[in-house]
Structure 1
Amino acid sequence: MPNPSRLRAAVLTATVLLSSLLTGCGDDSEDEDLTAQQLNWEDCPAPSQAEGGGAAPSPLPNGDEWQCATMKAPLDWAEPKGDTIGLALIRAEASGDNSERIGSLLFNFGGPGGSGVTTLPAFGEDYAALRTRYDLVSFDPRGVGRSAPVKCENDQQLDAFFQQDATPDDAAERTELLDNTKEFNAACEENSEKMLPQVRTTDAARDMDLMRQVLGDDKLHYFGISYGTELGGVYAHLFPERVGRAVFDAVVDPTQNPEQGSLGQAKGFQLALDNFAEDCTSKIEDCPIGDSAQDVKDRIAALLAELDRKPLPGIFPRDLTQTAATNGIAQALYSQDFWEYLTEGLQQAYDGDGRILMLLSDSMNGRSENGEYSNITAANISINCADDKPRYTAEFVESRLPEFRAASELFGDFLAWGMVSCTDWAVDGAADHPDVSAPGSAPILVVGNTGDPATPYEGARKMVQALGEGVGVELTYRGQGHGAYDSKNRCVQSAVNGYLLDGKVPAAGTVCS
């Protein structure tokens, strides 16, 4: 069986998992200056259920403890003197000589909906070089984890929600999917009505500028991964003169609407599956799940078709459905480190046992072994629906299925039907796509991975173009998985560290392999 802690850590890299619980809204004096607030840094508690649960973060390699604090921010940035919410922060103080300290380096690991408070400690050692001159800081964005979390359905309801058929084949299945989506969205409105209009990416960007001030920095030094690149781009658009040294890794294409983004992901996951199948069958030893790359993919397609008719036993009492298996396969494609688990999970499924693929699916959905869910799904849908203006109907999705299936036989239907998530949402979406134009900003290093399934490589160039002339600097990593820096490729890390630590901007068009 895969190691659950390793699965969880890799899930965190993929921009999608983990979140937390904390303070709601409170009344404050209209005269309070939030920029002057003092943070009370203390030892970190164990993650809440909304963050995914588990133990408090282990000490850093040199024995230093992680520290946590809560920052007040306006509930509604249109009324900055009104009610406030608490935003959960975590930091590891700089390890080097204080005279060499640059400031704080703020991380967002993606999602949207991922808890930075749980993710940063999981990868703390990966950023040891950056810690020599920065305090490493991350946070739970508003609506996530400990930061006034959005709440939708309970654990039992979520078990049923994730067991549904997300790729309907007939009118009855389509009606059931739409009804379940409507019920989920109604639960979000019932349980989180006050927060739903306040979780847009523009709100989170304004929160980051408040953090910059409270942390005592003149400029925001920033490391954004996956959705964190979109958040960073929006920040740069709103506050170009306040951008310090910034890196975007695993880059979201800011020019795409949700339909285009979903179609791009279908192509990206198909490419990752092609690479997985080719890798397995090109090794010296026999590939246990197929005789050729095409055979591997044909067998997976046959498995999913069979699961649509008859699910396999999964993690008792739940069965491995077609949807759960597709979700688990997608999760494994986020990191090349997961490919061995995908191979083992497929072998197991061919023998009638769906536990590994279900464990991978649970990791994607933020479900712990004790059956409790983080609020990753609630936060992800809430932020996306607050950001994205389009509302897609079932009829529209059906009209687009041929193109999605052409992009990916395995993932096309799955990603196409995901577009109905915001149908009947309680809050209007803000725009077709984010505005990240940032004239006057300091250089931003934009890192694209040619094998990235979730944020396809083309998005890096689109981000560079959208940021504007003289801002985005593109670096290419010829690799696999979601993101580049955490691949530990020396070329990538040298370029990123050189910029963040010493201000050395690599040549535009640099390629690492």
Structure 2
Amino acid sequence: MTKTQRNAALIAASAVVLGITAPLTAAQAANSVPPKGVEDSLDWTKCEGPGLDPRQECATVKVPMDHAHPNGKKIGIAISRIPSEKPEARRGALLLIPGGPGGSALSAPSGKGQKLPQNVRDTYDLIGFDPRGVGRSTPVSCGLEHEDLALSKLRPWPAPDGSVTENMANAQRLSDACASNGGELMRHISTAAEARDLDRIREALGEQKVSAWGVSYGTYVGAVYSQLFPHRTDRIVLDSNQNPDPVRLQRAWLAAYETGVEDNFPEFAKWASAPGNPDRLARTAAEVRPLFLRLAARLDREPIPWPGANPEELNGNVLRQTMLDTFADPDNYPALAQLILAAQKGTVPPAPQAPPESVQQNVTAVGAATVCNDAAWPSSTAVYQKGVDKSRVKYPLTAGMPRSALVCAAWPYEPKEPPVRITDRGPSNILLVQNERDVATPLSSALRLRTTLGKRATMVTVNSTGHGAYLANGNECGDRAVSHFLATGERPGRDVYCD
């Protein structure tokens, strides 16, 4: 596989939807000892799947499908662990909370967990899991048509003229499929339900308290868990943070792309105009933005056939969606530049390799259920059209998509409970880490969460670009602050900026 193909595959995969050990006190030691009989209730076996650390083992925790009826029907939550590498230094369990919604962390103890420094791996059992509905947990699927799995369709990109009529039709079609094929579990997938599942995992592990590292959407899960079960939290790291308000007219994560793109495009433009860059697009950074907008508009009018892709054409919205995917990691800038260069000549690169369709179906179903069940969305075409019209003028790079109609505009179920309100009440044991330029969870969203948490949190802002700060697209200063907190419990005395 060429570098170009690898970069394209990374973009496709991203579309399916980051000190010295302190001695244990007597109380900490007590926290690490499971209550008699609880730990033994888990049947740990060797995990299935390629590339896993041989130490990783898996089990299933049974949880209520509906937490409002704890004695009712049960579903399975698949969990995994790699035990502390130094039992005498063990403090407890570190939950690795995935993004998404719809992401999996079952293999995370073998993956990103092994990037953690040794003193952190000594301190914790690393715990991964598939959230309810995902993967090896009791899964769901909407059974969508192949064409409806295209991210440029799942994200509500308006028509070239700005109309949301097709978005509304898509929302109804996808919603009908989820209602017909998703089963009863679709009604019970939400952020609050996942947070309650985490406490069932904690209980099954025999831990009085748990620590957690949540990334992207996982920061919202971590914040909700900390709100619902503050006395069960130990050290909480929230990495690449979402706005904590889920009940705005457009759910905050989607609207955030407007500012996220504006924060990130100058970095891409600087890279794409650098002398010596083999994928150089323009002589100056100032030329890159109008170049991109002209090309997107041309592709709106004259799409280029793209056999093997989904959809099988490169149109303006596919280009815009590729931009969003690329901006999650600056290492993928070449893929976007190469696509632009090819499109300017009327050609396309090889079609990107997509994840297995079964994975796409699963991730899409869980994502739709979570976002739509968390809070009620408007159902009026006029509401979305008004928002799109305003957004297209102010944020032309995203062409109105962040204000358009997702599947939630036609969702058949009402939220089962009000959204959990994040507040500043609770223990002061949360560390936020945030890249300054993040397309999906921009700094403005993190600052909103920081303000909401008040004295419960301290924030590390990292002068870096990309989604996922800690041990990913951040820098050494930010990584060091988070690692020190996880290993020792010591946070910076105040909010800090890592240049």
Pair in the same fold by TM > 0.5? yes
2:30 paired with 1:39 = no
Amino acid at match of 2:320: T
Amino acid at match of 2:468: G
Pairing of 1:40-79 with structure 2 (within 5 A):
40-46=43-49, 56-59=50-53, 64-79=54-69
Amino acid at match of 1:86: G
Shift in Å, 1:463: 1.4
Shift in Å, 1:152: 0.8
Distance 1:286 1:487, change over 3 A: closer
Contact map agreement 1:185 1:424 (CA 8 A) in 2 = yes
Contact map agreement 1:455 1:482 (CA 8 A) in 2 = yes
SS of the aligned residue for 1:89 comes to strand
Which one of 179, 187, 191 corresponds to residue 181 of structure 2? 191
Identical-residue share of aligned pairs (%): 27
Name the Cα RMSD after superposition. 2.9
Aligned structure 1 segments of 4 or more residues deviating by more than 6 angstroms: 3-12, 34-37, 369-372
Shift in Å, 1:39: 1.9
CA displacement, residues 33-59 of structure 1 (integer Å, 9 cap, x when unaligned): x9677222222223xxxxxxxxx2333
2:87 paired with 1:113 = no
Shift in Å, 1:459: 2.1
2:370 paired with 1:377 = no
2:303 paired with 1:311 = yes
Shift in Å, 1:294: 3.0
CA displacement, residues 446-505 of structure 1 (integer Å, 9 cap, x when unaligned): 11221011111122222122224x311111111101121122521111111111111111
How far, CA to CA, are the matches of 1:285 and 1:455 in structure 2? 28
How far, CA to CA, are the matches of 2:206 and 2:264 in structure 1? 42
How far, CA to CA, are the matches of 1:203 and 1:178 in structure 2? 28
How far, CA to CA, are the matches of 2:322 and 2:195 in structure 1? 32
2:91 paired with 1:102 = yes
Pairing of 1:224-239 with structure 2 (within 5 A):
224-239=214-229
Shift in Å, 1:390: 2.6
Distance 1:347 1:6, change over 3 A: closer
Alignment-derived partner of residue 78 in structure 2:
88
Shift in Å, 1:274: 2.2
User: Which of 422-431 and 107-116 deviates more?
Assistant: 422-431
Distance 1:162 1:451, change over 3 A: closer
Shift in Å, 1:330: 0.7
Alignment-derived partner of residue 383 in structure 2:
396
2:496 paired with 1:505 = no
User: TM-score when scaled to structure 2?
Assistant: 0.86
How far, CA to CA, are the matches of 2:498 and 2:206 in structure 1? 35
Alignment-derived partner of residue 483 in structure 1:
468
2:290 paired with 1:298 = yes
How far, CA to CA, are the matches of 2:341 and 2:73 in structure 1? 54
How far, CA to CA, are the matches of 2:313 and 2:259 in structure 1? 28
SS of the aligned residue for 1:202 comes to helix
Shift in Å, 1:117: 1.7
How far, CA to CA, are the matches of 1:296 and 1:302 in structure 2? 10
Consecutive unaligned residues of structure 1, counting only runs of 5 or more, are 18-33, 47-55
Shift in Å, 1:296: 1.5
Which one of 397, 401, 423 corresponds to residue 410 of structure 1? 397
User: Which of 347-356 and 368-377 deviates more?
Assistant: 368-377
SS of the aligned residue for 2:63 comes to strand
User: TM-score when scaled to structure 1?
Assistant: 0.84
For these two proteins, the number of residue pairs brought into alignment is: 473
CA displacement, residues 194-213 of structure 1 (integer Å, 9 cap, x when unaligned): 01221111111010011111
Amino acid at match of 2:496: T
Greater length-normalized contact order (CA 8 Å, ≥ 6 residues apart): 2
How far, CA to CA, are the matches of 1:258 and 1:90 in structure 2? 37
Which one of 149, 156, 174 corresponds to residue 139 of structure 2? 149
Contact map agreement 2:87 2:122 (CA 8 A) in 1 = no
SS of the aligned residue for 1:477 comes to strand
Contact map agreement 2:463 2:474 (CA 8 A) in 1 = no
2:204 paired with 1:214 = yes
Amino acid at match of 2:271: D
Amino acid at match of 1:280: A
Contact map agreement 1:73 1:86 (CA 8 A) in 2 = yes
How far, CA to CA, are the matches of 2:301 and 2:417 in structure 1? 39
Amino acid at match of 1:435: R
